[in-house]
Structure 1
Amino acid sequence: MKARTDTKEKIIELGTALIKSIGYPSLSYQQISSQLGIKNAAIHYHYPSKEDLGCDIVSNEIARFEKFISSVSGLGPLEKLEVFLGSYRVHLEDGNKICLIGAGASDFLELPKSMQLVYTEYLFLLKNWFIDLLETGRKAGVFHFKGEPVNKASVMISALAGALQHARLIGNDHYDAVAAQLKEDLKA
């Protein structure tokens, strides 16, 4: 794997933003090159195929989430949830984009197999973090909910991803209402 360069970082950053706003199938090297003011050959140097770029974008998000996990490791369960919800809400403030997992799920059947695998890895990482958060919070008496943490994690992840998508239709208040209700449901 080639070392990261400023150009490569910019390609990843813009590619990520485009996938979150228009989806992987609509992503083109021409969009990236014209917005960055570079030639398509510069993108092909780092990413011989669009599939290579897509996999690296998702792998980059996995690494970013792993850093997030590490950065909140010293916080209590409620504080971790608050920080996550705030960081997730940034999608709305960044041009009303959806999360990368939501974008991948929407496009899943059109994705190359290698991207399907890395997206699935990312979702399991997120889900396992939520399961651990919910188990820890329940044991500490901070969270109260019916059912198993694995099922509650699935509901929360699905609700948040859906809330971002629906916010595109009816406004950011929708996401805020869903996030507030999820927190309230953990207090019950």
Structure 2
Amino acid sequence: MTDLNPTNQQILHYARHFLQCRGYNGFSYKDISQKLGIKNASIHHYYPKKEDLVAALLEERRKSLAVSIAQMKESEKSAREQLQYYFDYALQEFDEGKCICPPGSVIIDFHELPEKVKKQDMLLLDDILDWLNNVLRTGLEQGEFEFSDPVDTHAEMVVETLMGARLVSSIKGRKTLVRAISSIKSCLGWRD
């Protein structure tokens, strides 16, 4: 990945915002350059093609997730605390106007996407599912959760429910996302 100087960080910031609000085909370098007051060529300097930018953005999200997971492990957060972090993060992003989660932001265009974007999106989704599998397995073993279906089924259900709820919340409001989180907790046998 290229150097993350202030300009590059701003490019990624706005690209992430546009990607999560509009999807892959819903923004261009012009949208980013107008926000930053720079020329499109400045963006092309860092990312020759849009696929380079989006792949780098998804890779950055993977690295950020890995750091968050390591921090939670280091601080010995319980399974519930880790899962609550995930829910809080989804709510925070929604409150910031980002209606679609990073891996979900390219789903509508997935089959037409360049291979490097598909690869990074699948790696990010796999990272999230691996982490959720570990969290749910630990929570089940330690009595924090109570469910009988396979752990991987529940991990997929969590991701799928949050992705769908974030989309519907973009037109129905935050309460839809809050209800979805409550439903997930209920399915996991999470009792406050």
Name the TM-score class by shorter chain: over 0.9
Q: C-alpha separation between the residues in 1 aligned to 2:52 and 2:169?
A: 31
Identity %, equivalent residues: 27
Q: Describe the SS at the equivalent of 2:25.
A: coil
How far 1:70 moved relative to its partner?
1.4
Work out whether 1:130 is the aligned partner of 2:170. no
Q: C-alpha separation between the residues in 2 aligned to 1:16 and 1:110?
A: 19
Aligned to 1:146: 148
Paired residue type of 1:116:
K
TM-score (norm 1): 0.96
Residue among 94, 112, 115 paired with 1:113? 115
Aligned to 1:12: 12
Moved more, 108-117 or 122-131: 108-117
The list of structure 1 runs, each at least 4 consecutive aligned residues, that deviate by more than 4 angstroms after superposition, is: none
Checking the alignment, whether the CA contact within 8 Å between 1:92 and 1:172 is kept in structure 2 is: yes
Paired residue type of 2:144:
V
Q: C-alpha separation between the residues in 1 aligned to 2:160 and 2:88?
A: 17
Q: C-alpha separation between the residues in 1 aligned to 2:19 and 2:112?
A: 13
Checking the alignment, whether the CA contact within 8 Å between 1:25 and 1:110 is kept in structure 2 is: no
Paired residue type of 2:39:
K
Q: Describe the SS at the equivalent of 1:123.
A: helix
Superposed, which structure 2 residues align to 1:1-188 within 5 Å?
1-73=1-73, 74-187=76-189
- Show CA shifts across 1:65-93 (max 9, x none): 11111121110111111111101111210
How far 1:102 moved relative to its partner?
1.3
- Show CA shifts across 1:165-184 (max 9, x none): 01012111011001011112
Q: Describe the SS at the equivalent of 1:69.
A: helix
Q: C-alpha separation between the residues in 2 aligned to 1:96 and 1:62?
A: 17
Q: Describe the SS at the equivalent of 1:187.
A: coil
For these two proteins, the number of residue pairs brought into alignment is 188
Q: Describe the SS at the equivalent of 1:14.
A: helix
Q: C-alpha separation between the residues in 2 aligned to 1:26 and 1:104?
A: 10
How far 1:96 moved relative to its partner?
4.7
- Show CA shifts across 1:76-129 (max 9, x none): 111111111101111210125211111122221221111101100000000010
How far 1:25 moved relative to its partner?
1.1
Q: C-alpha separation between the residues in 2 aligned to 1:5 and 1:20?
A: 22
How far 1:155 moved relative to its partner?
0.7
TM-score (norm 2): 0.94
